[in-house]
Amino acid sequence: MRVVVVGAGRVGFSLCRHLVQENHEVSLIEIDEERARHASNRLDCLVIHDQGNSIQGLEEGGIDRADALVCVTGSDELNMIICGLAASRYPELVKIARVRNSEYVRFYREGPPTKLGTTASLGTTPLGIDHFIHPDVEAARWALSAVDRGAMGEVLVFPGAPYELGSVEIAPESPLDGLALRDYRKLHPGDSLVTLVERQGESFLPDGSSSLHAGDRVHIFVRGEETEEVFRLAGQGGPAPRRIGIVGGSRIGALIAGGLLHPERQEEPPGRDIEGFGRTFRSFLKTLRPKHLRRITIIEQDYQLCKDLSARFPEALVLNEDISDESFVAEERINDLDLIITATGHQELNIITALYLKSRGVRRAIALVSGTGYGIMARQLGVNVVIPTAQVVVDSILARLSGVRGLHRFGDAGIFELEVKAEAPAAEKPIAAFHAGSGALLMLANRDGDSFIPRGDYVFKAADRVIVIAKHGNEKELEKFFAVDL
């Protein structure tokens, strides 16, 4: 696949790195000279120091031969204009734009107002944009999933399926510490599967002879109603958080507050919706637990924003304060919270605040960070749940670029949601034919709306939808077996 990426910020750089690792042909256009030089020195792809909002710059990047254009500059307007410019000459090109302003997306989805005051459906957008990526919605979805499972660990939801992937660190002397996986069923007889283990910077797909140890980070595929039980086995149990503080009341913070307080009222933002496993952000919110026992405190330094939040969420306590003021923390009894969610625009402040409030007595903390590097450090320091917002956006873009139903990254492993095609080698083959060695594991199958963890007698059928976790380097085997382009 040939992809042109415009914007070499954190998202653009990370996206290009993933695409290059998967042997795609990539061109990266960046107007900032220093960023362009940095990308050129570190990425094995064509890097062009130029503006992306000109046909000349796009053609130099090979837009005439590309399969897709991804615009992830820091400007919503520029991203949409570049897509529109490319669409005027290359209408068959897949065009993806990162857009934070929901008003733009709503306009293109509903159509412009007519003289009668109604809206006319556009069918396709005037600028020819095929996919909008809304980073705040994606990050809020992850945060709300974690809160709904007690904020004991990170939770990846698979829309339309009753299973989740819970990621949690094993505590010393917990039931999982020292456990051989061949005995895992004795400890947890429910429907679950240990899919990936991270240990001292390395990760592996375990088998029955593997043992788990304190400090390991395990990714366990489990039915949603059993996620908290698995977290407790890892030594991360505790009562569900009721007193929840949100630091930062801008877009992500407001989405999280709205999801906790009024999931039934939330507008349907342009979140990722995977066909087959598809479920909108709004319907996802409706699955969250009732909010009647939750007390929400929002801490925001901007006075005008606090006024807006107070009007929008009258049942929440909105405090116009600086979270770094120690006297404020003591006076307002912030240390009595069960959970703190740090969602400001500064990742260092989010991590420091989360750790400081945990030291003052807050039981659990969720921190939003920009990159995975900070995420790794924050987990090591004791933050319970870390949400790397840039990686969440990259995953969403990769899902739309690939032939798979969805894609998620965990270090050097990826989770792929695939459909078995009638002409694929996998069709009518038993699970024993899935020869990926120790590099891939079949986690879930969905047949005619029924989801289950495949066992030894499972046979792939056309139209089955499966979820596979694979270490980097095993993508080619998946491509051959399922006849997809990863």
Closest CA to 146 of 470, 368, 412, 411: 368
Identify the pLDDT of residue 278. 34
- When pLDDT is cut at 50, 70 and 90, the band that residue 308 belongs to is very high
250 and 387 in a common domain: yes
User: Which residue's entry shows tokens 């993508």?
Assistant: 475
Top-confidence residue, 72 or 436 = 72
**Residue 304, in any domain of the structure:** yes
- When pLDDT is cut at 50, 70 and 90, the band that residue 270 belongs to is very low
Token pair for residue 12? 């653009």
Residue 160, domain extent: 153-233
- How far, in Å, CA of 359 to CA of 133, rounded? 36
**Residue 424, in any domain of the structure:** yes
pLDDT of residue 114 exceeding 90? no
| C-alpha pair distances (Å), 45 with each of 18, 125, 351, 400, 412 | 11, 31, 33, 21, 20
Give me the DSSP letters along 197-248.
EEETTEEE---TT-B--TT-EEEEEEEGGGHHHHHHHTT---PPP-EEEEE-
What's the whole-model pTM score? Answer: 0.79
Query: 147-172 burial by CB neighbour count: b if 16+ within 10 A, else e?
Result: bbbbbbbbbbbbbbbebbbbbbbbbe
265 and 387 in a common domain: yes
Pick from 66-70, 106-110, 131-135 the range whose average pLDDT is largest: 66-70
Give me the DSSP letters along 357-408.
HHHTT--EEEEEESSHHHHHHHHHHT-SEEEEHHHHHHHHHHHHHSSSSEEE
User: Count of residues for the chain?
Assistant: 486
Pick from 127-131, 291-295, 401-405, 434-438 the range whose average pLDDT is largest: 127-131
pLDDT of residue 438 exceeding 70? no
CB contact at 8 A, 383 and 376: no
- How far, in Å, CA of 385 to CA of 339, rounded? 11
Q: What's the domain count of the chain?
A: 4
207, 233, 259 — which closes off a domain? 233
416 and 386 in a common domain: no
- How far, in Å, CA of 259 to CA of 140, rounded? 8
355 and 262 in a common domain: yes
**Residue 16, in any domain of the structure:** yes
13 and 111 in a common domain: yes
pLDDT of residue 268 exceeding 60? no
- How far, in Å, CA of 360 to CA of 354, rounded? 10
218 and 297 in a common domain: no
**Residue 397, in any domain of the structure:** no
Identify the pLDDT of residue 239. 81
Closest CA to 98 of 140, 62, 63, 69: 69
- Strand arrangement, sheet containing 440-447: 406-410, 413-419, 465-471, 440-447, 450-452
What's 113's DSSP letter? B
- How far, in Å, CA of 374 to CA of 14, rounded? 14
- How far, in Å, CA of 484 to CA of 429, rounded? 17
The dihedrals phi and psi of 119, each to the nearest 5 degrees, come to -115, 145
Identify the pLDDT of residue 474. 82
pLDDT of residue 457 exceeding 60? yes
pLDDT of residue 245 exceeding 90? yes
Mean pLDDT of 302-331: 89
348 and 281 in a common domain: yes
Identify the pLDDT of residue 6. 97
270 and 385 in a common domain: yes
Mean pLDDT of 323-328: 81
378 and 297 in a common domain: yes
- When pLDDT is cut at 50, 70 and 90, the band that residue 154 belongs to is confident
Identify the pLDDT of residue 298. 96
CB contact at 8 A, 245 and 334: yes
90 and 168 in a common domain: no
pLDDT of residue 242 exceeding 60? yes
CB contact at 8 A, 410 and 151: no
419 and 382 in a common domain: no
pLDDT of residue 240 exceeding 50? yes
- When pLDDT is cut at 50, 70 and 90, the band that residue 273 belongs to is very low
CB contact at 8 A, 349 and 324: yes
363, 392, 421 — which closes off a domain? 392
pLDDT of residue 110 exceeding 60? no
Mean pLDDT of 262-278: 44
Mean of all residue pLDDT scores within the chain: 85
CATH code of the domain in which 446 resides? 3.30.70.1450
Low-confidence winner among 82-96, 174-188, 231-245, 324-338 (lowest mean pLDDT) = 324-338
Identify the pLDDT of residue 265. 58
Q: List, in order, residues 6 or more apart from 149 with CB less than 8 Å away.
A: 155, 164, 166, 227, 228, 231
Closest CA to 439 of 481, 399, 478, 402: 478
CATH code of the domain in which 314 resides? 3.40.50.720
33 and 88 in a common domain: yes
CB contact at 8 A, 452 and 444: yes
**Residue 419, in any domain of the structure:** yes
CB contact at 8 A, 205 and 472: no
Q: List, in order, residues 6 or more apart from 24 with CB less than 8 Å away.
A: 1, 2, 3
User: Using one digit for the tens of pLDDT, what is the confidence trace for 38-74?
Assistant: 999 999 999 999 998 988 889 999 999 999 999 999 9
**Residue 100, in any domain of the structure:** yes
Mean pLDDT of 436-462: 87
- When pLDDT is cut at 50, 70 and 90, the band that residue 125 belongs to is low
Instruction: Please provide the distance, in angstroms rounded to a whole number, between the alpha carbons at the two ends of the chain.
Output: 9
Q: Is 97 helix (H, G, I), strand (E, B) or coil?
A: strand
Mean pLDDT of 279-295: 55
341, 368, 392 — which closes off a domain? 392
Q: List, in order, residues 6 or more apart from 485 with CB less than 8 Å away.
A: 1, 402, 403, 479
